[in-house]
Structure formats: structure tokens, C-alpha cells
Amino acid sequence: MTPTNLKITLDGSAGSAAPYAQLRAQIADRARSGKLPAGFKLPTVRGLAEELGLAANTVAKAYRALEADGVIETRGRNGTFVAAAGEGPAREAASCAQDFAERAHRLGLTRAEALAAATEAVRARYGS
């Protein structure tokens, strides 16, 4: 098997993120930065698992999460590819925001309280 040019590195030290999370983050970062262009064919689950010394289920879990995020798309037997940026992630974010708004309303939060909670969550994730 020939190695891919994904250049994935996994940190196995104590306290590091789970391997699937590291894999997911690295592929997502590279796709969003353009280092992995739209249409780039990713290795098979089994192939990448062998290359990285991971269980196939670990890679499959990362791929499922990336597909749910709109970062990659599976085209049946043709393989898995980096998805085109734009509409998919924006649509997913809007859906998540709608779900949050509905849940905050059911919890009895005011608009200001819901906005404050969302703003704090975004601030915590992206920094101030």
C-alpha cells in the first residue's frame, strides 16, 4: 500500500484527544484551508486505518463525523471525497442554530438569555 499525502500525525500521549477526534480535526482543518481541495479522494477506511495503525472503526467514526459536518461526502463505490465548501456547512450550522433556539425557548429562556448563552459558547470555542 502506498502512503497517502494526508500527512496525518496522531498524538498518543496521555491527555491528548481521542485518535478519531484528532483525525477528524486534521482532515477538517486541511479541507477548510484548501490544503485538501474539493474533490480530493480520501483513502478508504481500511486503507487509512492500516496506514495509521488504527482500528477501521476509529477511521469510520471520523469519516461519519466529517460527513455529518459536510466536510466530506461519500459517493457509493466511487469513494469518499472532500466536499465543496459553502452550502453544506452553512446549512448544517443554520439547522443547529434553529434546534438551539427551539430548545432554549422550551427551557423558558428569554431571547437575551438565549443569545447570551450562544454568544458565550461561540466565544469559548473560537476565543474572544
Q: Does position 41 have pLDDT exceeding 80, yes or no? A: yes
Give the residue with greater pLDDT, 14 vs 113: 113
Confidence of residue 1 (pLDDT cuts 50, 70, 90): very low
Higher pLDDT, 15 or 23: 23
Q: CA angle at residue 15 from 121 to 45, to 5 degrees? A: 85
Q: What's the rounded Cα separation, in Å, for the pair 48 and 59? A: 7
- Please give the sequence-ordered ranges of beta strands (E in DSSP) within 24-84, or none if there are none: 41-42, 72-74, 80-82
User: What is the number of other CB atoms lying within 10 angstroms of the CB of residue 52?
Assistant: 20
User: How does pLDDT run across 50-104, given as a tens digit for each residue?
Assistant: 999 999 999 999 999 999 988 998 988 889 999 876 666 766 776 688 789 889 9
Q: Sorting pLDDT into bands at 50, 70 and 90, what band is 112? A: very high
- Provide CB contacts within 8 A for 41, sequence distance 6+: 79, 80, 81
How does the average pLDDT of the chain come out, rounded? Answer: 88
State CA 73 to chain mean position distance.
12
Residue 9: the pLDDT is 92
Give dist(CA 109, CA 50) in Å, integer: 48
